[in-house]
A = this chain, B = another copy of it.
Amino acid sequence: MTPAAGEALAAAEVIVGYQTYLDLIPEFLAGKEVIASQMMKEVDRCRKALDLAAEGKKVALVSGGDPGIYAMAGLVFEMAREQNASVDIEVIAGIAALNACAARLGAPLMHDFAAISLSDLLTPWEKIERRLEAAAAADFVVVIYNPKSKKRAEHIVKAREILLAHRDPETPVGIVTAATRENERIVLTTLAKMLESEIDMQTTIIVGNSMTFAWQGFMVTPRGYAAKYAL
């Protein structure tokens, strides 16, 4: 958490968030009105936060990772627009899963990359496939969000097939689950073998581009210095 996020929490009168995240920041909750909710109630959480803000309260809506990357910031704006709400909104950047997972793996995001969510809850699967195909063909490093849930075990299988049509089976793949948390798991594998590792809802997967290499347990996408300078 950045100092800016801490300052926003300290300045807030009401803190709204998913219970699991609020449990991580007890020191910021003392003396505040706290509204906790369960998973999958994000629409309710946003509505509550906007209602309270419209009443004139300073509200902090807590998001895991970076609220601006596949997270809560967008829903707040979508809903505020629908309601024609008259509230001041500020988004405070955080460490997204892609930042945290990249750091734990080494340096896979040194070159152009595409972030793609495999969740078809709000996006047609055909569009997701088209993006996988485009990213694979143009040699982007690919960051896969939401690779699997109980209801969607086959999406990551299909995604791997699309990538394999354009990349060497030995392409490094990093599989990071619950980055920086107590139950963190990090696996450095290959496109050929990636499905042998455990993948779940807390997992983010980074697939290297044609230049990415594995070195001493790290995954590195070179920027191209070695080709230009004597290192």
What residues of chain A have their CB less than 8 Å away from a CB belonging to chain B? 1-3, 43, 47, 66-71, 73-83, 89, 91-96, 99-100, 102-104, 106-117, 121-123, 127-128, 130-131, 133-135, 137-140, 213, 215, 218, 220-229, 231
Given the contacts A103-B68, A140-B131, A122 and B228 also touching, CB distance less than 8 Å: yes
How far is A217 from B223 in the complex, measured between Cα atoms in Å?
Answer: 35
Can you list 13 contacts pairing A with B, beta carbon distance less than 8 Å?
A66-B99, A74-B220, A75-B110, A79-B225, A81-B213, A83-B231, A91-B103, A93-B102, A114-B135, A122-B223, A134-B140, A135-B138, A135-B140
Contact of A102 among B68, B78, B89 (CB under 8 A): B68
Q: A77-B107, A112-B116 are in contact. List 19 more A-B contacts (CB 8 A).
A: A1-B2, A1-B3, A43-B225, A66-B99, A66-B102, A66-B103, A68-B108, A69-B110, A82-B231, A93-B95, A94-B95, A112-B115, A112-B117, A113-B115, A114-B115, A121-B228, A131-B139, A131-B140, A133-B138
Q: Is the CB of B2 within 8 A of A95?
A: yes
Cross-interface CB contact of A114 among B47, B112, B220, B227, cutoff 8 Å: B112
Chain B's closest residue to A87 (CB) is B216
> A99 and B220 in contact (CB under 8 A), knowing A1-B2, A106-B91, A135-B138?
no
A215 touches B77 (CB 8 A): yes
- Complex CA gap A106/B1 in Å reads 19
Contacts of A93 in B (CB 8 A): 95, 99-100, 102-103
Contact of A78 among B47, B67, B104, B225 (CB under 8 A): B225
Bound complex: CA A156 to CA B204 (Å) = 31
